[in-house]
């Protein structure tokens, strides 16, 4: 049986590999006069997800992981869900596997990616507190949220929240209190895309996987 040091080294290696994979699909979203947020590539042909409050109906630009800066077109927004879908003229962009936010349980490890305080492609780890429709401290947030014990900072908004397997389970959105972050579940994202983009179908459900 591996010792504690060997297990820690293995875990560090796995987390580093997960972070490298996710960063390939992480983008920076810049909106004139409002600083910058994050986004994640949903479809390889230029469909990008972020928060509605990041773009604010302006003319955003997207900076891809490879450094390309591209003008983005806002395809759809939902202010209640705080989601926005953007399109850029690019093909063969890297994506990450989509997970199932309904499988998350209190204590599950998650990692939030973004550009906090201008630090590019940063990772912040935490655990799931739970999921719920109402957050007592913030009653204006009325729909279902992923609630995680991690610290969002300016620049995390719109970035991907991934599970321990590197699968997308939510979109980082807002702090609800000290070290309590809210994310839009990926199941809500799928519904948003299907409703607002018409022919744009959600990506397929992942096949069941067994963790080790």
What would the pLDDT profile of 38-88 be if each residue is shown by its tens digit?
999 999 999 999 999 999 767 899 999 999 999 999 999 998 889 999 999
Say if strands 145-149 and 160-163 run parallel, antiparallel, or are unpaired: unpaired
Given the residues 53, 121, 156, 163, the one annotated as active site: 53
pLDDT at 18: 79
Clarify whether 82 is annotated catalytic: yes
**pLDDT less than 50: residues of the chain:** 1, 138, 200-212
Catalytic residue among 25, 31, 101, 157: 157
pLDDT of residue 4: 58
* pLDDT number for residue 19: 82
The pLDDT value given to residue 56: 79
Phi first, then psi: what are they for 8, rounded to 5°? -65, -40
Burial of 93 (C-beta count, 10 Å sphere; 0-12/13-18/19+): buried
Per the rule left: phi > 0, alpha: psi between -120 and 50, beta: everything else, 35 is left
Q: Which domains does the chain have, with CATH numbers?
A: 23-95 (2.40.10.10), 101-189 (2.40.10.10)
Is 53 one of the catalytic residues?
Answer: yes
Token output for 141? 């947030």
Q: Give the strands of the sheet with 26-30, arranged side by side.
A: 69-71, 61-63, 26-30, 36-43, 47-50, 83-87, 73-78
Catalytic: which of 82, 101, 121, 163? Answer: 82
User: Is 179 a catalytic site residue?
Assistant: no
Q: Other CB atoms closer than 10 Å to residue 55's CB: what's the count?
A: 23
């Amino acid at each position: 049986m591996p010792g504690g040091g060997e297990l820690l080294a293995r875990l560090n290696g796995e987390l580093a590999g997960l972070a490298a994979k996710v960063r390939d699909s992480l983008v920076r979203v810049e909106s004139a006069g409002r600083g910058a947020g994050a986004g994640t590539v949903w479809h390889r042909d230029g469909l990008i997800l972020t928060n509605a409050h990041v773009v604010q109906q302006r003319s955003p630009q997207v900076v891809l992981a490879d450094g390309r800066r591209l003008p983005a077109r806002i395809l759809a927004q939902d202010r209640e869900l705080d989601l926005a879908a953007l399109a850029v003229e690019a093909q063969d962009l890297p994506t990450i596997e989509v997970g199932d936010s309904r499988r998350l349980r209190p204590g599950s490890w998650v990692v939030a990616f973004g550009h906090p305080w201008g630090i590019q492609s940063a990772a912040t780890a935490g655990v799931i507190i739970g999921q719920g429709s109402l957050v007592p401290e913030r009653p204006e947030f009325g729909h279902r949220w992923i609630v995680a014990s991690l610290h969002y900072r300016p620049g995390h908004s719109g970035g991907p929240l991934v599970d321990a397997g590197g699968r997308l389970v939510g979109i980082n959105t807002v702090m609800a209190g000290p070290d309590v972050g809210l994310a839009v579940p990926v199941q809500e994202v799928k519904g948003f895309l299907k409703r607002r983009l018409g022919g744009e179908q959600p990506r397929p459900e992942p096949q069941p996987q067994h963790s080790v």
